[in-house]
Amino acid sequence: MDSITLRRPDDWHLHLRDGAMLAGIAPESARHFGRAIIMPNLVPPVVTGAQAQAYRDRITAALPADSGFTPLMTLYLTEESDPADIIAAHQSGLVTAVKLYPAGATTNSTSGVRDFDKVRPVLEAMAEHGIPLCVHGEVVDSDVDIFDREAVFIDRVLDPIRRRTPGLRVIMEHITTRQGVDYARAGGDDLGATITTHHLVINRNAILVGGIKPHYYCLPVAKREEHRLALRAAATSGDASFFLGTDSAPHTDPLKENACGCAGCFTATNTMSILAEVFEQENALDRLEAFASLNGPAFYRLPANETRVTLTKGDPVSYPAKIDTGDGPVTVFDPMMPLHWRVG
Ligand SMILES: [Zn+2]
């Protein structure tokens, strides 16, 4: 097979940032994707419907004319979130989902949730109204090893929340472990999981072997090879529980190449070429459309995109090493392998 046509893909987990960074990187996602779930972890975070409206307007202004790209907005769940505001923002069509960050788990998450009992009324209201909850699934306890934080979160936080709140629709964002794969697969129709492009490609050696490689550092951090293989098997299985959420998360080079470097890989530019390469390696090109274009909308109860994209195999694809933004250069994720599939 040297050409494959898919429904236009969507990105069910994306960081577009704000200001000059937003202007610089929004076209990278709009080029190939139809829609994206936009993360709300700005400073200050997008907590209210009014803030989501204003942020959506700024995103729309940053998109190329006629891009056809639709940002799907989320609200940042805090211990003070107002259930009535969340429900109104969802019912008006402004907001697609709500994002739960454990306080301190990742970039700009200090306003997140410390005491999960405090958000129980909000979660119950969301279950009642069918509003999906996107979860950053890592505990932040200092006594839990960073490589174990996802598995511990499932046992200590996620499973109890789901048992207490029947009907709550949950997306485990950017799963990175075999335990995450197993829990999502067994979770039934109200549980889905996104998988990033980069976690299909790298294990933790990419960050740590031969010198520290800050551009491969992200959260949740890449794990052992056995976990990468579990993610690849899940993504390429066609199982409707799993869909693409790139977690493409730009930081400028000075913030990555730093004594305390920021977490995030920027994959918006070359994600579709990387995914085609990965799915071809797994003899699963015929299941790329399920992962990138069909399973996500089905979980979110939205129609798949009507337009199509074609990927064609040929000589290695060139893509920029960096995107220049008004904030500074952003390094594009290097998958450490030639990419042969080009979009369009
Ligand atoms: Zn993210």
Task: Name the pLDDT band for 103 (thresholds 50, 70, 90).
Answer: confident
Taking the CA atoms of 131, 181, 39 and 31 in sequence, report the sign of the dihedral they define: negative
Among 1-15, 109-123, 232-246, 305-319, the least confident range:
109-123
**Residue 314 Cα to ligand 1 middle (Å):** 32
Q: Report phi then psi at 197, rounded to 5.
A: -65, -45
Residues with Cβ within 5 Å of ion ligand 1?
247
pLDDT in tens, 150-206: 999 999 999 999 999 999 999 999 999 999 999 999 999 999 999 999 999 999 999
Tell me which DSSP letter residue 220 carries.
S
Catalytic residues, which ones? 247
**Residue 15 Cα to ligand 1 middle (Å):** 6
Both tokens of 281, joined, read: 């390696």
pLDDT in tens, 36-61: 999 999 999 999 999 999 999 999 99
Region 131-142: mean pLDDT is 95
**Residue 299 Cα to ligand 1 middle (Å):** 19
Locus of tokens 């069909």: 294
**Whole-angstrom distance, CA of residue 277 vs CA of residue 274:** 5
Task: Name the pLDDT band for 19 (thresholds 50, 70, 90).
Answer: very high
pLDDT for the residue numbered 187: 96
**Whole-angstrom distance, CA of residue 20 vs CA of residue 35:** 21
Both tokens of 177, joined, read: 């472990």
Domains in the chain: boundaries: 3-343
pLDDT for the residue numbered 99: 97
Number of neighbours of residue 92 by Cβ within 10 angstroms: 10
Task: Name the pLDDT band for 344 (thresholds 50, 70, 90).
Answer: confident
Q: Using the predicted structure, report yes or no on whether residue 111 has a pLDDT greater than 90.
A: no
**Residue 43 Cα to ligand 1 middle (Å):** 14
**Whole-angstrom distance, CA of residue 273 vs CA of residue 176:** 21
pLDDT for the residue numbered 343: 96
Tell me, what amino acid is at 143? D
Mean pLDDT of the chain: 96
Residue 329, strand partner residues: 324
CA distances (Å), origin 176, targets 159, 212, 310: 17, 20, 29
Locus of tokens 């306890």: 141
**Whole-angstrom distance, CA of residue 188 vs CA of residue 85:** 29
Which residues have a Cβ under 8 Å from the Cβ of 21 and sit 6 or more positions away? 250, 252, 325, 326, 327, 330
Taking the CA atoms of 4, 290, 40 and 146 in sequence, report the sign of the dihedral they define: negative
**Residue 127 Cα to ligand 1 middle (Å):** 23
pLDDT for the residue numbered 107: 76
What residues form the annotated binding site for substrate? 15-17, 41, 136, 219, 251, 263
pLDDT for the residue numbered 108: 77
pLDDT for the residue numbered 130: 97
CA 229 to chain centre: 19
Q: Does domain 3-343 have CATH number 2.60.40.1180?
A: no
